[in-house]
Amino acid sequence: MSTKDLLRLDPLAKTNLKSLQIEDEVDIYQQFVEIFLKTSDEFLGSLKTANISIAQRVSHSWRSSSSVIGAQILANLCLQIETCSDSKKYKELIVLVESEYKEVRAQLIQSQKAG
Amino acid sequence: MAETNQNMDIPEMITGLCVLVVEDSEFDRALTIATLKKIGIGKIQVAENGRLAIAKIKNAIAVKKPFDIILLDAKMPTEDGMKVLGWIRGEPELKKQVVIMITATVSSEEVVKFIELGINGYVVKPLILGVLQSKIFEILNIPNKKKEQHVD
C-alpha cells in the first residue's frame, strides 16, 4: 500500500479502542490518546538525537502505537525508518515524521475534545 | 455503545486468572492490560522488561502463586522475550508455565524459534481483543461461548 492511500487518522481505530471501555471506568480512548501523545513526544525527541540503531528500535515501538491509534501514514514512515540504512534518507524521513506527527497530534487533540 | 463484559457474566475461571504482562512499550502495555480487563481477567501484573519479569516470576514461585499465563513481548531491549522464555523453560518449576508470545512481525524463522523454545502460542501486534481471547481460551481449554454461538 502506498502512503497516499493511507489515512492520517483512521476512524476505525477509535472505534476499536473504545470497544475496550469498561463501564464506570475512566474514558479509555482519552487514556490511549494521552499515552500516545506523551510517548510520541519522547520518540520524536529520541529520533532527532539518536543513532540509526537506537532510532530503529524507537521507530519500531512508535510504529506499533501509531498503527493502533490509527495514524497510518505515521506508522508507515516509522516502518521506513526501521528498515532504513542510508543516513541521508534517514534524515529526510525524520523531517517527514516530524511534519506528519504534528498533523496527527492536532487531529488527536481535536478527536479527544469530540469525545 | 461499546461492548462490555459484566463481571457477573464472566466465569470464575476467567476472573480468577492471574496474568503477567511483560512489555516495554507503555502504549502497548496499556493496550494489553485494557484487553485483558475486557476479557474479564481480574489479576494482572506488569513487568516493563525481561529482568523485572524474571524477578516477578521468581517471587510468584516463592509465594506459591504462579502466574496462569505470561504474555511476553518478543522484542524488548536487553533481556528480550526469547531470553526470558529460555530462562522459563530452564527452570524445573516452570516447565508447564503457559507463555504466549506477542510479536510485531512474524517470520517462519521466528515461529520455529518460538516452538523450539516451547511457547504455548503467539499473537501478532496490534493486539485484537477477539484474537487474544480466543488464544487464551484455546490454550486453557475454556469454552468460548461467543465463538460457539457464532458457529451455530
Residue among B2, B3, B126 whose CB faces A67 most closely: B126
What is the reported pLDDT for B25? 92
**Alpha-carbon span A78 to A64, nearest angstrom:** 9
Band (pLDDT 50/70/90 cuts) for residue B7 is: very low
Mean pLDDT, rounded, of chain B: 87
- Statement: residue B4 has pLDDT above 50: no
Output the pLDDT for position B39.
95
Question: What is the torsion angle, in degrees rounded to the nearest 10, for the CA atoms of residue B28, residue B31, residue B36 and residue B38?
Answer: -170
Q: What percent of chain B has pLDDT over 70?
A: 88
Residues of A in Cβ contact (< 8 Å) with B31 = 20, 32, 68
Phi, psi (5° rounding) for residue B149? Answer: -60, -40
pLDDT of B149 higher than 90: no
Most B-contacting residue of A10, A18, A20 (CB-CB within 10 A), to test interface: A20
A33: nearest CA partner in chain B: B27
The pLDDT of B18-40, averaged and rounded, is 96
Whether residue B126 is predicted with pLDDT greater than 80 in this model: the reply is yes
B104 interaction partners in chain A (CB closer than 8 Å):
60, 63-64
For A43, nearest residue in chain B (alpha carbons): B25
With 90 as the cut, is the pLDDT of residue B144 above it? Answer: no
Helix axes A52-69, A28-49, angle to 10 degrees: 160
pLDDT of residue A114: 78
Which residue ranges of chain A lie beneath pLDDT 50? Answer: none
What ranges in chain B are assigned the alpha helix state H? 12-15, 26-39, 50-62, 81-90, 108-117, 129-139, 145-151
d(CA A64, CA A73): 12
**Structure confidence at residue B12 (pLDDT):** 80
Chain B within 8 Å of A61 (Cβ-Cβ)? Answer: yes
pLDDT for A1: 52
Is the pLDDT at B109 greater than 90? The verdict is: no
Which residue did the predictor score with more confidence, B4 or A47? A47
Residue B75, helix vs strand vs coil: coil
Q: Are B69 and B136 in contact (CB under 8 A)?
A: yes
Query: What is the pLDDT, as a whole number, of residue A54?
Result: 84
Q: How many CB atoms lie within 10 A of CB B129?
A: 18
The C-alpha atoms of residue B28 and residue B102 are separated, in whole angstroms, by 10
Q: What is the pLDDT of residue B23?
A: 94
Please list, in sequence order, all residues whose beta carbon lies within 8 angstroms of the beta carbon of residue A54, skipping any fewer than 6 positions away: A46
- Predicted ipTM of the assembly: 0.89
Question: Residues B60-97: pLDDT tens digits?
Answer: 999 999 999 999 998 887 788 889 999 999 999 998 99
DSSP states along chain A: --GGGS-SS-HHHHHHHHTT--TTS--HHHHHHHHHHHHHHHHHHHHHHS-HHHHHHHHHHHHHHHHHHT-HHHHHHHHHHHT---HHHHHHHHHHHHHHHHHHHHHHHHHHHH-
At A3 the pLDDT is 59
pLDDT for residue B152: 43
Q: Which residues of B touch A (CB under 8 A)?
A: 2-6, 24-28, 30-31, 34-35, 37-38, 75, 77, 104, 125-129
